[in-house]
Amino acid sequence: MVTVRAPATSANLGSGFDVFGVALDRPADVVHVERAAETTIDVTGMGADFIPEEPMDNTAGVVAEELGAPAHISIDKGVRPSSGLGSSAASAAGAAVALAELYDRDLSKRELVRVAAEGEAAVSGDAHADNVAPAILGGFTVVRDDGIERVAADLSLVVCLPDIVVSTRDAREVVPESASIEDVVDTVGSAATLSIGMCRNDPERVGRGLEEHLVTPARAALIDGYDAACEAAREAGATGVTVSGAGPAILAVCRDDDQRRVASALVDGFERDGVDATAYRSRVGDGARVL
Ligand code: HSE
C-alpha cells in the first residue's frame, strides 16, 4: 500500500489565466493505492457523494489506465469538488505519484504531470495542466505548450471557499474571446510583476500582480459576496485578492502578520452578503508526496 498527500492548488492567479498555478500547503487529498487485478475506486470526505467512482469517470482511474497500473484506489477528499481549488487535479496528481511508486515506474515528475493532465482531460474534457503541475511539482508554476517553469516560493496565502456552487461551464463561458491591446499590456505587466514577486517571496508584488481586468471581473460576477469579501480582505491587509481557478473560491495574498485578520475578514465579507464561507490559512506548498 502506498499513501500520498496531494495538495489543493490555485490556478490563474489573476494575470496568468490558464498559465499560472500555485500549490497550497492546505487543504489536501489523501490517496491510498494497493495493487489489484483491476482498478476500483472509493471516495470519502468532502463532496464524496458528487464524485464518480467508475474508474474511467474519475481522474485517478484514468491515471491508473494511462500508467497501466491497476489498483484499488481510496481517495479521502480534503479539497471540495468544483471549488476552484484544483480538486480533481489533486486526486489525479495523488494517484499518479502513488501508482508510480507502487509499480516502481521510473518517471520524472514532469512526466507524471503529463499523465495526471491526461486524467484531467479525459474527465473534464478540457485539459489545463495549470492545476496538476503545481499539485505535483509544488511551488509556483508557469505552464505553456513548450514546457513548465517552476520556482519554490514562500508566501502567506488565504483561500476562502464560499458555500455556493459556480458551474465550471459558466465560468468558462464568461471568459471574453478577445482583448484590447491596452488590456494585454496591462495583463503582461501584472504577470511579470507577479513572477518577480514569486522569485523574491514578496507579498506586495505578488498581490499587485494578481490585478487583471479581463477574466476576473467576468467570473467575479458569478460569485455572490465576492466584492464585499475582497473589500474586507484589503482593509484587513491583503496585498491582492482574486478568483481562485474558475471559482467560487477566492485567493488572497498577505504578509504573515496579517494572515489571521485577512482570513476572518474574507469570511465576514461573505457573511455580510448572506453567504457562509470557510477560510484556509495557507502558504505556497510542496507537491504531492508519499507519506
Ligand atoms: N485555468 C482554468 C480556468 C483552471 O480558470 O478555467 C481550471 O482548470
Substitution site in 17, 79, 174 for ligand 1 pocket (most atoms within 8 Å of beta carbon): 17
By CB neighbour count within 10 A (0-12 exposed, 13-18 middle, 19+ buried), where does 257 fall?
exposed
Is the pLDDT reported for residue 124 higher than 90? no
Is the pLDDT reported for residue 122 higher than 90? no
The ipTM, to two decimals, is 0.97
The rounded distance, in Å, linking the Cα atoms of 27 and 45 is 12
107 Cα to the center of ligand 1, angstroms = 26
Atom of ligand 1 nearest to the CA of 246: 5
As for ligand 1, residues whose beta carbon falls within 6 Å of it are 11-12, 18, 128, 130-131, 172, 245-246
Could you tell me if 2 and 260 are in contact, meaning their C-beta atoms sit under 8 angstroms apart? no
More confident residue, 127 or 223: 223
- Closest-CA residue to 64 (of 30, 24, 91, 26): 91
Tell me the helices (H) and strands (E) count for the chain, helix number first. 10, 11
Helix (H) / strand (E) element for 29: namely strand 20-35
Is the pLDDT reported for residue 171 higher than 90? yes
- Closest-CA residue to 48 (of 78, 25, 70): 78
pTM for the whole thing?
A: 0.97
- Please tell me the predicted confidence (pLDDT) of residue 21: 98
123 Cα to the center of ligand 1, angstroms = 14
Give me 172's grid cell: 468558462
Is the pLDDT reported for residue 96 higher than 90? yes
- Please tell me the predicted confidence (pLDDT) of residue 123: 81
Could you tell me if 65 and 55 are in contact, meaning their C-beta atoms sit under 8 angstroms apart? yes
Is the pLDDT reported for residue 231 higher than 90? yes
pLDDT band at 100 (very low <50, low <70, confident <90, very high): very high
- Closest-CA residue to 137 (of 152, 157, 126): 152
Q: Whose CA is nearest to atom 8 of ligand 1?
A: 128
Average pLDDT of the chain is 96
Q: Whose CA is nearest to atom 4 of ligand 1?
A: 245
More confident residue, 46 or 127: 46
What average pLDDT does range 225-238 have in this prediction?
98
- Please tell me the predicted confidence (pLDDT) of residue 167: 84
**188, 190, 274 from 194: Cα distances, Å:** 10, 6, 32
- ∠ at Cα 206 (204, 207), nearest 5°? 65
List residues with catalytic annotation. 120, 168
Could you tell me if 72 and 57 are in contact, meaning their C-beta atoms sit under 8 angstroms apart? no
- Please tell me the predicted confidence (pLDDT) of residue 241: 98
Substitution site in 10, 12, 215 for ligand 1 pocket (most atoms within 8 Å of beta carbon): 12
135 Cα to the center of ligand 1, angstroms = 14
Is the pLDDT reported for residue 125 higher than 80? no
15 Cα to the center of ligand 1, angstroms = 12
Q: Could you say which DSSP state residue 284 is in?
A: B
Q: Whose CA is nearest to atom 1 of ligand 1?
A: 18
